[in-house]
Amino acid sequence: MAEHFARTPNVLGWQTDNELSGPQDFSETTRVDFQDWLRRQYGTLEAQGEAQGKQCGAKLHKSDDKKPELHPREAAQGVVDAVSGEPFVVSAVMQRERRKRPPAPFTTSTMQQEASKQLGFSSQRTMRTAQQLYEGVELGDEGGVGLITYMRTDSTRVAPAALDGVREFIGNEYGTRYLPEKPNTYSNRKAAQDAHEAIRPTSMERDPEQVRAQLTADQFYLYRLIWSRFVASQMLPATFGKAPAFLPVAASMGTPLPVMGPT
């Protein structure tokens, strides 16, 4: 069913650059050409509107069956003028599936990055808390227990026994449909020393919520972050469904008009 799309096109993203940076050993002709390229204006053309009571947007993909070149600015304005007052009608919907592989278990640097992003921790705060989790936390009758492996590592390697433990946990907790046939493996950086394995919980039997009462707030949140990352690293890739719609704008007086796609 064709869906009319009310919109107000807007030209966005215009940029110019008059500075030449980088090496200066070009020939004079090359330097002039490069300067001209840097100064060239470029932009994008987007339409914002409403369909079936919901706000949605579209971006110019083609004009007259070609990739649009919206420079100079007058060229983009010409497209806007051409589509003004024309209805946008969905002509095709493409079903797509995107898969995203889970991230590797933490190294020191990735742990610091995620703790900063998700918890707002500084690097010092992250390492101080990780040191406490590694050295041991009092867990009642168990006494002092180290909850994570060594926190200074550049490796994503995981011990076979730990892989068996996390795979068993995933199967029991989430079901085998989330479990890959074989353990996921991740490559280290070329310069990695690989002296210690990745940062992970020392036991899958110590769920973050079960030990929360014995942890400080910082310890709990960082431990949960490490736990979640380790579990996720051994699950199947996440699958996302995408259904972009394409809207060729009706032609006026035989003039070819653009095809708008999803933003």
Pair of tokens at residue 253: 């007086």
Q: What span, in angstroms and rounded, lies between the C-alpha atoms of 201 and 223?
A: 8
CB 232 within 8 A of CB 103: yes
CB 152 within 8 A of CB 123: no
CB 148 within 8 A of CB 133: yes
In order, the DSSP letters of 134-180 are HH-EE-GGG-EE--B--S--------HHHHHHHHHHHHHHH-GGGS-
- Cβ-defined contacts of 66-71 (< 8 Å, 24+): 68/258, 70/11, 70/42, 70/43, 70/44, 70/45, 71/40, 71/41, 71/42, 71/43
Q: What span, in angstroms and rounded, lies between the C-alpha atoms of 228 and 241?
A: 24
**In the annotation, is 150 catalytic?**
yes
At residue 116, φ and ψ (nearest 5 deg) are -70, -45
Q: Which of 150, 174, 186, 223 is catalytic?
A: 150
CA 233 distance to own-chain centroid: 16
Q: Is the dihedral of CA 33, 34, 35, 40 positive or negative?
A: positive
What is the set of active-site residues? 150
